[in-house]
Chains A and B, each alone.
Chain A
Amino acid sequence: MQININNLSFAYGTKTIISNLSLTLNGGDYLVVRGKNGSGKSTFIKCLLGFNQVKSGMIFYDTIDITNFKSWTRFGYVSQSFDDFNYEFPLTVGELLQISSLKKTNESERLKLLEKMGIFDIINQNINSLSGGQLQRVFIVRAMLNNPDVLILDEPTASIDKQNKVFFYNTIEELHRAGLTIILITHNDNIENLNYTHLLSMYSDLSTSFEERGVEITEGVL
C-alpha cells in the first residue's frame, strides 16, 4: 500500500499542531516518526488513522482519499500505553484475541504468531495481571491477527524494561523483513540502531524534516 500525504496541516481550535507536511511511503517501508512530547507525533498518527478529520491537505491510501477510505483492516494499530482499552475488567488474553480475530485468518499462521510472541504461556491469564512487556506483546499480536499491510505503533517502548525492548525491536524488524510497512512513533533520540528506511522528525516549532535513511528528501520550515 502506498501512503501519500500532501500539505497536511492540522489545528486543535486555533492552535496549529501540524503545518504543511508532505511525504510518500511505499509498501514495505519502515518509517520512524521522531519528536519531543507535544511536537505533534500522535496528532499526525490520529490524522493517518482517520481519528482526526483532515481539513487542510490530503492523505491518500493508494488512490483512495482518506475521507472515502473504508478498508481499515489493512492497518494494525497499537496505541500509546493502550489507554483506549479498558483492561481493568476481567478478560483473558485468549478472550481478547478471540474477540479481535474477525477476519478469516490462516489458522497455522495465527498459531505461529502466538508462539513466536510467547502468548501461549499467558493465554489464560487475566490481562490486568500482565506486565507492561507482556501487555505490549498481546497488543502487537492483536494488531497483527488480521494480517494488516501497515503496522502503526505509538510510543511502543514507553512502559517496558530493557529486555522487552530488545525483543520488541527484533520482532518489528522481523515483521518488516517479511514485507510489512511499519510506522513507529518515538520521543526517543536513540534510534541509530533501528533499521528504519525513512525518518520523519517533528519539532515543537512546527518544522519537520523527512529523509530516506541518510538522504534528506524534503524539509518544511515555517
Chain B
Amino acid sequence: MFLSFIGDLFQQDFMLRALVAGVMLGILAPLLGTFVVVRRLSFIADTLGHFSLVGISVSLFLSSLGITMFFERPLYLGILFSIIGGLLIEMFRRSYNNFQEISMVIVISLGAALSAIFFSLSKKTGSLYNYLFGSILTVTNYYIVLILITALIVAILFILFSKQILAVSFDESSAKFLGINVNLFQIIFIIMLSVVVSVLLESAGVLLISSMMVIPVAAGMKLGWSYKSTLIISIIFSEMSVFFGLWLAYSLNIPSGAAIVSINIIILLIVTVTKRIILKNRISKMDKLQ
C-alpha cells in the first residue's frame, strides 16, 4: 500500500501537486507558528482564517448577484479580508494591552457571524465544508504557483527582517531601544501572517490552519535547545505530518487536513511521553547516585 502511494505520488499529477503544496505548507505553517507562539497569540491563525472566510463568502455572494471580481477567485477577497482582520486584531490588541486574547474573540466572532450571513445569502453553503476543512488533494496548478510566490515573499521578508521581527516578538517593549520601528514591524508581521493564513486556507482549512501552525511548534519546543533548533525540529515534524497525513488520506480516503493534524497530534503525544519517561529515568538515576 505504501509503495503504491509513493508510486502515485510521482506519477499522478494531483498527487504531485498535493506533495508540492504540502511541502510548502509544512515549512510556512511552523515558520510563522514559532512567532505566533512566542507572542502568545496561538489563536491568531484561527481568527484570521475566520475573517478570511468572510472575504470568500462575500465573493461567493457577489458572484451569485452576477458581480465578479479578482478573476472569479474568492481567495483574493479572502486575502483582503484576512488583512483587515489582522489589522483589527492589532487595533483591539493595543486597546486591551493586558488581555490580548480578547482582541481575537472579538474578531473571530465577527468573522464567523459575517461569513455565516454571506454564505447563506450566496446560497452556496455546500462549498463551506471545503473551506472549513480544506483539501490538499484537490489543489490546482494555479494554487501551486500562488503558494510558491507566497513562500518566496515570506523568504525575502525573513532574509531582510528576521532579526527585527524576532526582537519585537520576544520583547515588544524593549525593541524600541534597539532602534526598531515597533509599529512598522508589527504591521509587516500581521500582514504577512494574514496573507499566509488565507493562502494556506485552501489546503489546510479554516478549522485546521491554527493546529498546523502551533502543534509542530509545541512538539519542537519540547526538544529544541535554541530558537533555531526548535524551528528546524518543528519543520521536520510538520513535513512528517504532511507526508504521512497524505498517505493516510490517500489510503483510507479520509480528509487530508484532518489526517495531517491527527499525525501532528500523535507526534506531539509521542514526544511528550518519551521526554517525560527519559526525564523520570534520569531523576531516578540521580537519586540512586545520591
Contacts and interface: CB of A to CB of B under 8 A. Distances in A.
A51 B174 CA distance: 10
Interface string A59-89: 0000000000000110111010000111001
B77 to A, nearest CB: 35
Given A51-B173, A143-B177, 4 more contacts: A84-B171, A84-B172, A84-B173, A90-B230
Interface string B148-177: 000000000000000110110111111011
Interface string B108-148: 00000000000000000000000000000000000000000
B228 A85 contact: no
A92 B178 contact: no
A126 interface: yes
A146 interface: yes
Given A99-B167, A99-B170, A90 B224 contact: yes
B290 interface: no
| Best-buried of A79, A95, A99 by chain B (most CB within 10 Å) | A99
A176 B200 CA distance: 53
A148 interface: yes
A85 B180 CA distance: 16
Contacts of A75: 177
B167 A73 contact: no
Contact of A95 (B39, B174, B228): B228
A143 B176 CA distance: 12
Contacts of B179: 72-73, 102-103, 146
B178 A146 contact: yes
B37 interface: yes
B227 A92 contact: yes
A82 B172 CA distance: 12
B160 to A, nearest CB: 13
30 contacts: A51-B173, A72-B177, A73-B177, A76-B177, A77-B174, A79-B174, A86-B171, A89-B34, A89-B37, A89-B38, A90-B224, A90-B225, A90-B227, A90-B230, A91-B227, A92-B225, A92-B226, A95-B228, A98-B163, A99-B163, A99-B167, A102-B178, A102-B180, A103-B179, A124-B226, A126-B225, A143-B177, A146-B177, A146-B178, A148-B177
Contacts of B226: 90-92, 95, 124, 126
Given A89-B170, A95-B228, A73 B178 contact: yes
A92 B40 CA distance: 19
Contacts of B173: 51, 79, 84
A56 interface: no
Nearest to A85: B171
A63 to B, nearest CB: 21
Nearest to B181: A70
A100 interface: yes
Contacts of A126: 225-226
Contacts of B265: none
A145 to B, nearest CB: 8
Contacts of B39: 86
Contact of A86 (B38, B180, B228): B38
A99 B178 CA distance: 9
A85 B171 CA distance: 5
A150 B195 CA distance: 40
B227 A95 contact: yes
Given A86-B38, A102-B163, A91 B170 contact: yes
B224 A86 contact: no
B229 interface: yes
Interface in A195-222: none
B221 interface: yes
A61 to B, nearest CB: 14
A134 B179 CA distance: 25
Contacts of B227: 89-92, 95
Nearest to A75: B177
A51 B170 CA distance: 17
B177 A77 contact: yes
Contacts of A50: 176
B180 to A, nearest CB: 7
B174 A84 contact: yes
Nearest to B40: A86
Contacts of A124: 226
A146 B176 CA distance: 12
B122 to A, nearest CB: 42
Contacts of A73: 177-179
Interface string B37-56: 11110000000000000000
B67 to A, nearest CB: 45
